[in-house]
Amino acid sequence: MSQTEKTAEPCVMVIFGATGDLTKRKLFPALYNLAKDGHLPDNFAIVGVGRQELECGDFRSKIMADLKEFVPNTPDKKLIKWFEERTYYTGGDFDDDKKLFKDIKELLEEVCTKHDIPENFFYYMAIPPSLFANVSAKIVKNGLGKEENGNWRRFIYEKPFGSNFESAKALNASLLRILKERQIYRIDHYLGKETVQNILVFRFGNLIFEPIWNRNFIDHVQITVAESLGVESRGNYYEKSGALRDMVPNHIFQLLTLTAMEPPVSFEADAVRDEQAKILAAIQQFSPESVIHKTVRGQYDAGKIDGKEVPAYRNEESIAPDSNTETFAALELSIDNWRWGGVPFYVRTGKRMPGKHSEIVIQFKKAPFVLFRETSIEKLTTNRIVIHIQPDEGITLHFGAKIPGPIVNMGAVDMDFDYFEHFGENISTGYERLLFDGMIGDATLFQRADMVESSWQIVTPVIDVWNAIPARDFPNYEAGSWGPKESEELLERTGRRWKNEIT
């Protein structure tokens, strides 16, 4: 994470999947934020590539309208114009390397000349993973992938990178046949979030937390990534993916590895990634029996979110009326190493939950009770540290305090650190830092081939059992709830409880 450059290197960002949801919701707003803070050079341009045959002017108008919708506060008119002048589009069939890729080549030449940009190309694959290898091969075949004359060619792959262990391995192998590992950037936008990056600073930049950050003091860890949104317009993708593939081997495992890893020797890309990789290697593999006992899947039914009726998953656009795709997943994981042996890590994620709410809960063990036997205290408050990832970024320490008065009684209180209150507003999509790092060639916050493969290795047995035994009780949770009752039971079996509060 050593980052001293302020402005990205001159380049053309080529977005495959330019008319998709990610481009409008995240990529353009992130580029806008980077430009607003002076991180993009003047010799910069964007070439959108999509299947739709759109005129460049129509694409520009669409993107500018999207920017106005997705950039909070009123976007700056001058900046919108700056983008408009640098945004291009070409469309066609991704399978047809004769026409589309020739058009891309010509457009890139034109754009580089017009904006005085060296041929540094930053290819962003916002397309289904099944197309990654094919599209990359066509780029290379058309002479647009090889790094020469001091110009770089970087390939950014959106998640999910593969759809199980075998496919991730095969994808890595086919990309590595045509590209160098240093050209490959596997993105996980959770690593772009400030609070996620702060986990390392919080743990290793302070003295008081690390000595108790282990199985001697910690009872268990909970990671929740909840969303109130449903599947939106992404039905086609989501039907094949489901909550487990969509969120667990990527975003949730990033949160988990940063929470559980040993201190790295430096912030260099491989030092950090080595420690994360060791955690992935230490996670106990699921057997078919443990999938039954230690995992829960769910699919949302109709319900209410913020007082508004919302439909069941099976009634959403592009979803099969008898769909068996899960929109909720919960897993109990064990990390078999000296720090964490015997400490369960519970993770859960779902659509149509009560709110957009992501956090990591470090639940500490109980203090001895003996001192309080003769008092009116029936139960001691247990300590917990909550790392709030979003929407309110911060850290809370939960502890017990004496309630003022003549008798000894105890109340639970919170000590809160709020990012916004202390450091002011930081409007970010989570993609700014990652796009910028890609443009300056810093891979620290991107996933290495081995990490991606180990992550899939952990969840593939779950996918296999879930596929072999289709869920019979779907839909099994009401929209606006915390998921199916089996998710509560997963913790209740050992006397634990999810922290089902949005605080």
Comparing CB distances to ligand BG6, the nearer of 189 and 273 is: 189
C-alpha closest to that of 450 among 236, 292, 274 = 274
What's the per-residue H, E or C state across 90-143? EECCCCCCCCHHHHHHHHHHHHHHHHCCCCCEEEEECCCHHHHHHHHHHHHHCC
Between 218 and 244, name the residue whose CB sits nearer to ligand BG6. Answer: 244
Under the binding rule (CB under 6 A), the answer on residue 246 touching ligand BG6 is: yes
Q: Is 251 a catalytic residue?
A: yes
Crossing angle of helices 165-178 and 132-141, in 10° steps, is 0
Number of residues interacting with ligand BG6: please give it, by CB under 6 A.
5
CB of 343 to ligand BG6, least distance (A): 26
Gyration radius of the chain over CA positions: 24
Which of 169, 171, 100, 98 lies closest to 133 in space, CA to CA? 171
Smallest distance, Å, CB 111 to ligand BG6?
29
Work out how close the CB of 51 gets to ligand BG6 at its nearest, in angstroms, rounded to a whole number.
Answer: 20
Among the listed residues 258, 253, 237, the one whose alpha carbon sits nearest the alpha carbon of residue 329: 253
Q: What is the closest distance, in whole angstroms, from the C-beta atom of residue 189 to ligand BG6 in the complex?
A: 6
Q: How far is the CB of 480 from ligand BG6 (least distance, A)?
A: 17
**What torsion, rounded to 10 degrees, do the Cα atoms 153, 196, 21, 425 define?**
-110
| Closer residue to ligand BG6 in complex, CB, 59/238 | 238
Count of CA atoms in the C-beta half-sphere (13 A) of 314:
13
Q: Tokens 């009780």 appear where? A: 473
Report the site for ligand BG6 in 398-457 (rule: CB under 6 A).
Answer: 430
3-class SS shares of the chain: helix, strand, coil, % to 5: 40, 20, 40
Least separation in angstroms between CB 188 and ligand BG6: 8
Burial 335-348 (b: 16+ CB within 10 A, else e): bebebbeebbbbbb
Residue 326 touching ligand BG6 (CB under 6 A): no
Minimum CB–partner distance for residue 87 and ligand BG6 (Å)? 24
C-beta closer to ligand BG6: residue 161 or 340: 161
* Active-site annotation holder among 39, 220, 251, 388: 251
The CB-of-317 to ligand BG6 minimum distance in angstroms stands at 15
- Measured CA to CA, the distance from residue 254 to residue 258 in angstroms comes to 6
Our CB check for ligand BG6 shows the closer of 246 and 301 to be 246
Q: In whole angstroms, give the CA distance from residue 164 to residue 408.
A: 56
Q: Per-residue string for binding with ligand BG6, 152-181, x by CB under 6 A?
A: -------x----------------------
Find the binder of ligand BG6 among 97, 103, 147, 227 (CB under 6 A). Answer: 227
- The nearer residue to ligand BG6, 342 or 391, going by C-beta atoms, is 391
Peptide bond before residue 475 is cis, with ω within 30 degrees of 0: yes
- Contact flags string 264-303 toward ligand BG6, x per CB under 6 A: ----------------------------------------
C-beta of 62 vs 159, nearer to ligand BG6? 159
- Sign of the torsion formed by the C-alpha atoms of 126, 72, 191 and 382: negative
What are the φ/ψ torsions at residue 391 (nearest 5 degrees)?
A: -80, -25
Question: At residue 66, what is the residue type?
Answer: D
Query: With respect to ligand BG6, which residue has the nearer C-beta, 434 or 490?
Result: 434
The residues in 188-217 that bind ligand BG6, with binding defined as CB under 6 A, are 189
Question: If you ran DSSP here, which 8-state letter would residue 379 be given?
Answer: S
Give the residue closest to ligand BG6 by C-beta.
246
- Report if residue 239 touches ligand BG6, rule: CB under 6 A: no
Distance CA 131, CA 494 (A): 44
Q: Give dist(CA 23, CA 15) in Å, integer.
A: 8
* Contact residues: ligand BG6, CB under 6 A: 159, 189, 227, 246, 430
| Residues identified as active-site | 251
